[in-house]
Structure 1
Amino acid sequence: MNQRIGYARVSTEDQHLDLQRDALQQAGCRVIYEETASGKNAARPELEQCRKALRSGDTLVVWRLDRLGRSLPDLVHIVADLERAGVSFESLSEKIETGSAAGKLVFHVFAALAEFERSLIRERTYAGLAAARARGRSGGRKPKLHDKQLREIRALLRDPDIRVADVARRYNVSRTTLYKYVGAITPHSK
């Protein structure tokens, strides 16, 4: 017997699964796998259990596409795996289902449009960074240490009795940061 199996996910403990659970139950899901896991987190044990429970002819139902995939490529990969196993996929909010040829087409067009949008965002970001650089602005973090501090640090490190770790602690940076900014530090200044 073909089943409609639901998967619901929230990212943080203070979010609730009620909305997703209600929608999945209303869509005919008798079994719903639920978990709290960040979308960035690759380890989603309930999703893995859900995928193991699915059989050919079943349908995996989610409330929204972003509840299933961490990213567009991840989502496309999961849906392709389901397809190979003979399992349909349905997203309630986007009204996408892969049980029919038309539904598969809609999903793949949707995926292609999302990929296109990501490419446009990336291009605009690079163009914006290039324009900022042309105006003399550079992106990224502000430097941890300023010129005056660097001069002080270099002077301190010339003293063989002062340790790098002590200087790093004094300026609230790591030893690695000191090495990055000051360059090679002489052996006597350990």
Structure 2
Amino acid sequence: MGRKIGYARVSTNEQELDLQIDALIREGCDQSLVFKDRTSGAKSTRLGLDQCLDVLEPGDTLIVWRLDRLGRSMSHLINLIESLIERNIGFKSIQDGAIDTTTASSEC
């Protein structure tokens, strides 16, 4: 079984990442494997996300607090998740509980 790797993002420097990070750790992510960004989701370049995607290996699971923390748009989100599946990497959104590619019930 692979690692659980987390990604957290807030849009401004005034916002805190603590809620997301705490939730990711409760889901089993090691704090050293929680990648973070403090930038608008609309930005095409997010260093934390890029680092996170580079670290993921087949068998790992990417966990986010909510879908809107990951994708810039619906099409970007779909492309990201499809690329994870192609790489044999699971995906789970904590707050959007029905979205979990690591369980048999996620296959339609």
Q: Which residue of 2 aligns with 1:88?
A: 90
Identity %: 45
Is the partner of 1:97 in helix, strand or coil?
coil
What TM-score results when the alignment is normalised by the length of structure 2? 0.93
What TM-score results when the alignment is normalised by the length of structure 1? 0.54
Is the partner of 1:60 in helix, strand or coil?
strand
1 or 2 for the larger relative contact order (CA 8 Å, sep ≥6)? Answer: 2
Listed as ranges, the gaps of 5+ residues in structure 2 are none
Q: Which residue of 2 aligns with 1:15?
A: 15
After superposition, the CA RMSD in angstroms is 1.0
Listed as ranges, the gaps of 5+ residues in structure 1 are 106-190
Change (3 A) 1:11 1:98: same
Distance 1:57 1:104 in 2: 17
Q: Which residue of 1 aligns with 2:3?
A: 3
Deviations 1:66-95 (A, max 9, x none): 000011100000000000100000000011
Between Structure 1 and Structure 2, the one with more strand by share is 2
Aligned ranges for residues 1-190 of structure 1 at < 5 Å? Answer: 2-30=2-30, 31-95=33-97, 96-105=99-108
Distance 2:47 2:87 in 1: 19
Q: How many residues align?
A: 105
Between Structure 1 and Structure 2, the one with more helix by share is 1
Q: Which has the larger radius of gyration?
A: 1
Shift in Å at residue 101 of structure 1?
4.0
